[in-house]
Amino acid sequence: MKRFFLWLPLAMFALFLVVVAGKLRQPGDATIRSHMIGKAIHEFALQPAVPGRAGLSASDLRAGRPRLINVFASWCIPCRAEAAQLEALKRRGVPIDGIAIRDRPEDVAAFLRENGDPFDRLGADPRSQVQFALGSSGVPETFLVDGRGIIRLQHIGDIRPEEVGEIYAAWERAK
Amino acid sequence: MMAETGLAALWLAAALSLLQLVLGAMALRPSPAADGEAEALSRAIRPVAVAQALLVGLAFLLLIQLFLRTDLSVELVAANSHSLKPWLYKFAGAWGNHEGSMLLWVSVLALAGAAVALFERRLPERTLIATLAAQAAIGLGFYVFLLFASNPFRRLDPPPVEGNGLNPLLQDPGLAFHPPTLYFGYVGVSIGFSFAVGALVTRNVGPAFARAMRPWILGAWIFLTLGITAGSYWAYYELGWGGWWFWDPVENASLMPWLATTALLHSVTVLATRDSLRAWTVMLAVVAFSMSMVGTFLVRSGILTSVHAFAVDPRRGAFILVLLALYIGGALALFGARVGTVKEGTTFEPVSREGALVLNNLLLTVLLGLVLIGTLYPLATEAMGVKVSVGPPYFNAVAGPVALALVVAMAVGPVLRWRRDRLKEAARRLAIPLAVTALALVLVLALAPRLSVLELLGLVLASGVGVASLAPLWGRNLRRTPLFTWGMVVSHFGIAVSLAGMASNAAFTQERLVAARPGETLMVGPYAIRFDSVQPVVGPNWTAIEGQLTARRGSHDPFVLRPQSRAFFTPPTETSEAAIATRFDGQLYTVIGKSDAAGRWQLRLWWKPFVTLIWLGGAMVAFGGFLALIGRVRRARRARDREEAWA
């Protein structure tokens, strides 16, 4: 029995070699795509991120019209850069809801005062639970959900000015 | 011409390392008839090791010279340097890239081998030969890697007009210092590995082996400690995120060998003094080197993404993987086959100095395992098709409590007696530290009642352990206390100092992230900071936006901070240069970011009370190791002189 233990380190190391050698043959892709694209969103109900606003729940996303969900945070600097593009989409008639990740109400309120407020509903996700359920791994990310609550598109990172048209077209198609 | 000379020197050094390996193997061959022959072979092995070091050292100096001249006909220089770069970065740029850093690695390895050949007198001759042969085997693998897969001297024809420049994050005086320090540490660990292999081959594991190995381990550990401390400070001020440890794979790659080496340092002491823990010490020596190799591999192969992955190439990854399989697999197989034949030494009671050191070793190993699991976990899950990222929430939650337990063991261990002790007496010896701990608990609870458990324990234990770490000096004649005891006390005290800095930073840091217009005044910690203005500035190879902030604390004189957001032209990259003001009770850390259309600038301001203690403590830990090293070497020399006087 004791003999066996002496070979254990070697066995563990061999296992490590196998996994790593397999990994070397197929170098990874650093972006994390949601597994949820094409699937219906899970049930959730979020408290409002700012007192007095409407919170966000899964049923709001099945109301018959496609909408964008913007996953953001007041502490996230690219989210500030993206604000103007969200405004532009809003002006073109795209309804947008927001989910504030790991945030404080007063910080979210200040963020909206400074950077504009394109959101119809605004949920707070203090522990990233809904964020992870959507298949999002960071901020900002934007999801297009069609009128039946099915995720059609995931946009990772801030929306650049040149990407507004693309996202608008996807929203049109989802109608 | 210079590049060709360098390449020739590298080939010769590789040939000599092969010779060193063959000589060692032949000298150790079990053939009693050829005794005189074995002796002749073993006399040749030392000069070969020295010559090999001289040649590879020459190759490295030539590479530095090529960088200083910006010889663009050499591919490596063209890819990583630029004629406009300040000279210090041309110099340090020689190892700020994959090929150069591998050449530095193998140079240090050969220098260390030469040092063993020249200065090691205590090891039995056969074990020394086996050690040098093992060292040559490691070197040989890296020579092959350099010569066939990452030749630093390759020419470029025709030469380009200008070079690509160096990654701007690396254009920092810290770079001249940080990688060589860590490499000295890693390579020192490889000597411990070679000693262990040598001892396994010749079946000679005992106190003499431990005493011979200890100074090398101690030296490696000092460099690792310095390298980690310096690296942590570099990340803190250069990355501009205000954190001092990110649990990034590269940081873990340096932390894991440090944990293993720390454990080894303590177990080797038990082996040297009490002749216990034989197999365990050998295992730790193998693990420590394995960790530094695995770390290098993970980072260089690009298998794990990291902010530090400056030189990533999967093909090279495959090469290093083969080396890993040979060395670590070989050593572990040797361990499995041979260690059963190593007799266990003396035994001891659980409550004793040995008992505390075993506890220390177990906790360090658990910590090492937790860090290793956290680092490899994303790899394992990705092999099953799920992407995860393991970050500070995991590491802090699992490593924090173990580290705190370790600190307690560190405080108690040194006051216990060897072999057997009584708990009651030990508690009496620790009465003052226990009282200090209780007092600190009351004070912290009263003054700062809203801390998390880890922060609270960190602050309280730092004070108690700080006092306890001085306990081995009480009641002793301080002038007759051996230097290595002083070293232990200083190192342990340094850990407490560092812990105090970490806990204070975690518990009391204040952060402001704001978008401000020039003219606004912001409060952070005890400071009122006025955002005066923004102006463009120009450096040798960058332009920057520089903010001017005037900070004032109460009625003290105000002072100016100038954080920059730099844009480098070659290669085009942006970095943020934090402006940091250090006071005795903490640091004010300021970063400027982008502006928005409305003329507001992103400012991040932190007040970090006593954060500098983290690195001050790290430096003290290393300094304690240095004292211990001098103490050990001096005592060994005195013992040898006495022997020679008798003879």
pLDDT in tens, A113-168: 988 899 999 999 888 888 888 888 778 889 999 888 888 888 888 888 888 988 99
Q: How many domains does chain B have?
A: 4
The answer to whether the CB atoms of B336 and A6 lie below 8 A apart is: yes
Half-sphere exposure of B419 (CA within 13 A, CB side): 5
pLDDT value for B14: 95
Question: What is the domain-level CATH number for residue A115?
Answer: 3.40.30.10
The answer to whether the CB atoms of B336 and A9 lie below 8 A apart is: yes
pLDDT at B407 over 70: yes
The answer to whether residues B123 and B152 belong to one domain is yes
Quote the DSSP letter at residue B74. Answer: B
Q: Is residue B38 part of a domain?
A: yes
Q: Averaged over B33-38, what is the pLDDT? A: 63
Q: Averaged over B337-343, what is the pLDDT? A: 74
Of A55-69, B94-108, B226-240, B298-312, the one with minimum mean pLDDT is B298-312
Q: Is residue A6 part of a domain?
A: no
Structural domain of A86: 45-174
Number of other residues whose CB lies within 10 A of the CB of residue B144: 16
Whether residue B379 lies within 8 A of chain A, CB to CB, comes out as yes
Q: What angle do CA B264, B265, B270 make, to 5 degrees?
A: 90
C-beta of residue B488 within 8 angstroms of C-beta of residue B472: yes
pLDDT band at B223 (very low <50, low <70, confident <90, very high): very high
Residues in a beta bridge with A65: none
Cα–Cα dist B151/B140, whole Å: 15
Q: Is residue B314 part of a domain?
A: yes
Q: Is residue B183 part of a domain?
A: no
C-beta of residue B206 within 8 angstroms of C-beta of residue B278: yes
Of A3-7, B4-8, B131-135, B488-492, the one with minimum mean pLDDT is A3-7
Q: Which of A7, A13, A77 has the CB atom closest to B602's CB atom? A: A77
C-beta of residue A9 within 8 angstroms of C-beta of residue A123: no
Q: Is residue A20 part of a domain?
A: no
The answer to whether residues B330 and B472 belong to one domain is no
Q: Is residue A29 part of a domain?
A: no
Query: A-chain residues within 8 Å CB-CB of B515?
Result: 80, 114
pLDDT at B539 over 70: yes
Spell out the residues 6+ positions from residue A92 whose beta carbon is closer than 8 angstroms to its own. A168
Q: Averaged over B624-640, what is the pLDDT? A: 88
CA distances from B306 to A83, B174, B241, B428 (A): 29, 19, 15, 48
Q: Is residue B199 part of a domain?
A: no
pLDDT value for B99: 84
Residues in a beta bridge with B566: B544, B575
Cα–Cα dist B635/B624, whole Å: 17
The answer to whether residues B437 and B566 belong to one domain is no
The torsion angles phi and psi of B574, rounded to 5 degrees, stand at -115, 140
Mean pLDDT for all residues in chain A = 84
Mutate to test the interface with B, among A2, A13, A79 (most CBs of B within 10 A): A13
Number of other residues whose CB lies within 10 A of the CB of residue B402: 18
pLDDT value for B309: 44
pLDDT value for B40: 77
The answer to whether residues B379 and B300 belong to one domain is yes
Q: Averaged over A52-70, what is the pLDDT? A: 89
The answer to whether residues B451 and B405 belong to one domain is no
Of B113-127, B294-308, B569-583, the one with minimum mean pLDDT is B294-308
pLDDT value for B494: 96
The torsion angles phi and psi of B531, rounded to 5 degrees, stand at -90, 100
pLDDT at A1 over 50: no
Q: Which of residues 178-197 of B touch A (CB under 8 A)?
A: none
Q: Reduced to 3 states, what is the DSSP secondary structure of residue A16? A: helix
Q: Is residue A106 part of a domain?
A: yes
Q: Averaged over B608-615, what is the pLDDT? A: 94
pLDDT at B163 over 90: no
Structural domain of B564: 510-609
pLDDT value for A122: 93
pLDDT value for B121: 77
Listed ranges A23-32, B90-99, B210-219, B418-427; the one with the highest mean pLDDT: B210-219
pLDDT at A85 over 70: yes
Listed ranges B280-284, B311-315, B572-576; the one with the highest mean pLDDT: B280-284
- The pair of three-digit structure tokens given for residue B523, joined into one six-digit string: 């409060």
CA distances from B475 to A163, B337, B411, B420 (A): 74, 48, 17, 21
The answer to whether residues B252 and B397 belong to one domain is yes
Cα–Cα dist B412/B401, whole Å: 17
pLDDT value for B307: 47
pLDDT at B19 over 90: yes
Q: Averaged over B621-630, what is the pLDDT? A: 95
Q: Averaged over B487-513, what is the pLDDT? A: 93
Q: Which of A13, A19, A27 has the CB atom closest to B329's CB atom? A: A13
Q: How many domains does chain A have?
A: 1
Listed ranges B24-28, B387-391, B526-530; the one with the highest mean pLDDT: B526-530
pLDDT in tens, B308-329: 444 456 667 778 888 888 988 9
Percentage with pLDDT > 70 across chain B: 91
The answer to whether residues B17 and B137 belong to one domain is yes
Q: Is residue B456 part of a domain?
A: yes
Q: A141-145 and B521-524 as β-strands: parallel, antiparallel, unpaired?
A: unpaired
pLDDT value for B42: 75
pLDDT value for B114: 92
pLDDT value for B222: 95
Mean pLDDT for all residues in chain B = 85
Cα–Cα dist B490/B485, whole Å: 9
Site of tokens 């007198």:
B121
Sequence letter at residue B414:
P
Q: Is residue B181 part of a domain?
A: no
C-beta of residue A115 within 8 angstroms of C-beta of residue A80: yes
The answer to whether the CB atoms of A24 and B283 lie below 8 A apart is: no
The answer to whether the CB atoms of A13 and B335 lie below 8 A apart is: no
Q: Is residue B244 part of a domain?
A: yes
Q: Is residue B254 part of a domain?
A: yes
Q: Is residue A16 part of a domain?
A: no
Q: Is residue A13 part of a domain?
A: no
pLDDT value for B311: 46
pLDDT at B592 over 70: yes
pLDDT value for B242: 75
- The pair of three-digit structure tokens given for residue B545, joined into one six-digit string: 């936006």
Q: Averaged over B139-168, what is the pLDDT? A: 81
pLDDT value for B304: 63
Predicted ipTM of the assembly: 0.71
Query: B-chain residues within 8 Å CB-CB of A106?
Result: none
Query: A-chain residues within 8 Å CB-CB of B289?
Result: none
Least Cα separation, residue A70 to chain B (angstroms): 20
pLDDT at B139 over 60: yes
Q: Is residue A9 part of a domain?
A: no
Do you find a cis peptide bond into B472, omega within 30 degrees of 0? no
Quote the DSSP letter at residue A161. Answer: G
The answer to whether residues B258 and B322 belong to one domain is yes
Nearest chain B residue (CA) to A15: B380
Q: Is residue A8 part of a domain?
A: no
A–B: how many Cβ contacts below 8 A?
71
Whether residue A80 lies within 8 A of chain B, CB to CB, comes out as yes
Nearest chain B residue (CA) to A82: B596
Sheet of strand B579-583: strand arrangement: B510-516, B601-609, B586-595, B579-583
Cα–Cα dist B99/B81, whole Å: 13
The answer to whether residues B88 and B119 belong to one domain is yes
The answer to whether the CB atoms of B336 and A81 lie below 8 A apart is: no
Long-range contacts formed by B154-162: CB under 8 A, 24+ apart:
B154/B74, B154/B75, B154/B76, B155/B3, B155/B73, B155/B74, B155/B75, B156/B72, B156/B73, B156/B74, B156/B75, B156/B78, B157/B73, B159/B72, B159/B73, B159/B78, B160/B72, B160/B78, B161/B72, B162/B72, B162/B82, B162/B83, B162/B570
Query: A-chain residues within 8 Å CB-CB of B376?
Result: 16
Mutate to test the interface with A, among B193, B305, B379 (most CBs of A within 10 A): B379
Q: What angle do CA B261, B265, B270 make, to 5 degrees?
A: 140
Q: Averaged over B370-387, what is the pLDDT? A: 79
Classify residue B416 as left (phi > 0), alpha (psi -120 to 50) or beta.
Answer: beta
More confident residue, B341 or A42: A42
Mutate to test the interface with B, among A7, A18, A24 (most CBs of B within 10 A): A24
Q: Integer distance in angstroms from the first to the last C-alpha of chain A?
A: 67
pLDDT value for B226: 93
pLDDT band at A98 (very low <50, low <70, confident <90, very high): very high
pLDDT band at A31 (very low <50, low <70, confident <90, very high): low
